[in-house]
Amino acid sequence: MKRATVLKLGSIVGFILVWELIARLGIFSSFLFPAISDSLIYAFIDNPEMVGGAVLFTLKLLAISLCVSLSVGTLIGVLSSFSKSAQSIVQGWTSIFAPIPSIALLPFALLWFGLGEAPIIFVTIFGSIWMYIINIQNGLLTVKPLYVSIGKNYGLNRIGLARYIMFPAALPSIITGIRTAWSGAWRTLIAAELVFGVSAAGASGLGWLIYTQRFNLNSPGMFSGIIMISIIGIIVEDFVFKYIEKKTVVKWGMKK
């Protein structure tokens, strides 16, 4: 096992042990500082169906939002890379919309789409698509002209150039963009669920779980939602993206 991996795991385990020790020593009120073990018992033993249902609901909304963001963002990024006028237009859009906190649009989304999952999906898409477009556009525009010229000499059309030349060369930026999109979508989704997390069918996600347990004065319940958010984040960042990078940019010598 690499030294960096050992240090990373050690820091996580050390943090958990210190937190648990402080909670068990009663230095702070258990309501203000719940033990991690109590939160894990709440999530995996006492209420696995409720917490598991919240996780699945949140992941469903995340998957829908990211699929739309990445599909539309990729299309816009690729099309804009072939025209300086289109590049300027897209850069204008990102200058306007990227700085806006997506959660600020939730009241309007509720007016536009009504109750249900749609307003949450809308703000989640908005919170992830613009930074992805910026990354994919920058990646495609920084591809060396020599690579494009070689592709043209082989008779590749624009679609062929994008598929066989530009996308592989811009892959590090694209992966960074996907990671940024995931991060923005995840934070926006949880925030939106904290504000308005119940669909018309009565299902709810992790954000709403945290919010409702607050009214029940259930600290382990609130903290269990935070723990699940952290676990999902670790899985995506340290396993999914690491695996993708290992099989692509690291394997191809584009990143150490």
Which percentage of the chain shows pLDDT scores above 90?
A: 50
In whole angstroms, give the CA distance from residue 227 to residue 221: 10
Across all residues in the chain, what is the average pLDDT? 88
Q: What 8-state DSSP symbol labels residue 110? A: H
* Per-residue pLDDT tens digits for 64-118: 999 999 999 999 988 887 788 888 999 999 999 999 999 999 889 988 988 788 9
User: How many CA atoms are closer than 13 Å to the CA of 58, on its beta-carbon side?
Assistant: 30
* Per-residue pLDDT tens digits for 215-246: 888 999 999 999 999 999 999 988 898 888 88
Which percentage of the chain shows pLDDT scores above 70?
A: 95
Per the model's pLDDT, the better-predicted residue between 143 and 25 turns out to be 25
Query: How high is the pLDDT of residue 69?
Result: 96
Alpha helices in the chain (DSSP H): 3-25, 36-41, 48-80, 84-97, 106-113, 118-141, 145-153, 158-161, 167-169, 171-195, 206-215, 219-235, 241-247
Pick the CATH number of 49-247 from 3.30.1490.440, 3.30.460.80, 3.20.20.150, 1.10.3720.10: 1.10.3720.10
What's the pLDDT band for 256 if we cut at 50, 70, 90? low
